[in-house]
Amino acid sequence: DAKTTQPTSMDCAEGRAANLPCNHSTISGNEYVYWYRQIHSQGPQYIIHGLKNNETNEMASLIITEDRKSSTLILPHATLRDTAVYYCIAHTTGGTSYGKLTFGQGTILTVHP
Amino acid sequence: DTAVSQTPKYLVTQMGNDKSIKCEQNLGHDTMYWYKQDSKKFLKIMFSYNNKELIINETVPNRFSPKSPDKAHLNLHINSLELGDSAVYFCASSLTDMVRNTEAFFGQGTRLTVV
């Protein structure tokens, strides 16, 4: 998996959009950008993933730059329950990796009332 | 309907003991994993099984022995427990698809404390 770089921590006001950046300048052509989050004392939870195009689901939106060297996860209306560590992972489930995920330090997102 | 379930949730044991953690998934996935999260919160893969066969073994001491009786279960047995084994252990599963990238589902974790 390509290395990713994220800010250590971020704050966001409740109800506002939370924009979490991620750099993955060495990402290879077959690696997707995955986002997981870990709420305190729980297991990691899948959020979203994408290859080239922007993606949106019920949880978040993922914006990937055209050169694929960086991306932004957007939580459109952050709530207190979105306080968690957010992990950006460049990853492919194909080949011999068999879905192995390489977690970095992630970004601690704190949502304030 | 818990997708990936681990038991026990908490485990406190003395050094030198042997213990097991069980994991079951009801998602029909063919690949299961064990991850370890240490006190510094780093999540690191330990093992991966695909269709009951060991695929990934990330230089884990051989005191750790995973066992997969079937595709839905991956248990972790630890012999001669040491203080440094204290951590949270997460089981996960995913569907291996060489064409379509899929996501992994994690259990709630087992907090192991060795005293």
The shortest C-alpha distance from A91 to chain B (Å) reads: 9
10-residue mean pLDDT series, chain B (115 residues) = 91 98 95 91 89 83 93 96 96 78 89 97
The answer, yes or no, to whether residue A4 has pLDDT greater than 80, is yes
pLDDT, one tens digit per residue, over A12-21 is 999 999 999 9
pLDDT the model gives residue A15: 97
Q: Of the ranges A65-74, A94-103, B54-63, which one carries the lowest mean pLDDT score? A: A94-103
C-alpha angle A14/A18/A20, rounded to 5°? 150
Q: Which of B45, B103, B107 sits opposite A46 (nearest CB)?
A: B103
**Chain A residues closer than 8 Å to B107 by CB:** 43
The answer, yes or no, to whether residue A96 has pLDDT greater than 90, is no
Cβ neighbors of A34 (< 8 A, separation 6 or more) are A46, A48, A49, A88, A89, A90, A91, A101, B103
The CA-atom distances, in angstroms, between A103 and each of A1, A95, B94 are 10, 19, 16
CB-based contact, A49 to chain B, within 8 Å: yes
pLDDT the model gives residue B59: 79
Distance of CA B53 to the CA centre of its chain: 14
The shortest C-alpha distance from B40 to chain A (Å) reads: 9
CB-based contact, A52 to chain B, within 8 Å: no
| Average pLDDT of span A44-56 | 94
Nearest-Cα residue of chain B relative to residue A89: B103
How many CB atoms neighbour CB A87 within 10 A? 25
pLDDT the model gives residue B41: 85
Contact A92 B101 (CB under 8 A): yes
Q: Give the integer Cα–Cα distance in Å for B83 and B31.
A: 30
Q: If we measure between CA atoms, which residue out of B33, B38, B88 comes closest to residue B57?
A: B33
Nearest-Cα residue of chain A relative to residue B55: A98
Q: Name the token pair of A109.
A: 């997102």
Output the DSSP codes for A8-40: SEEEEETTS-EEEEEE-TT--TTPEEEEEEE-T
Q: Give the integer Cα–Cα distance in Å for A7 and A106.
A: 7
CB-based contact, A17 to chain B, within 8 Å: no
End-to-end CA separation in angstroms for chain B: 34
pLDDT the model gives residue B100: 64
pLDDT the model gives residue B87: 96
The three-class DSSP label of residue B84 is helix
Stretch 66-105 of chain A: residues touching chain B, C-beta under 8 Å? 85, 87, 91-96, 98-103, 105
Contact B109 A93 (CB under 8 A): no
pLDDT the model gives residue B57: 82
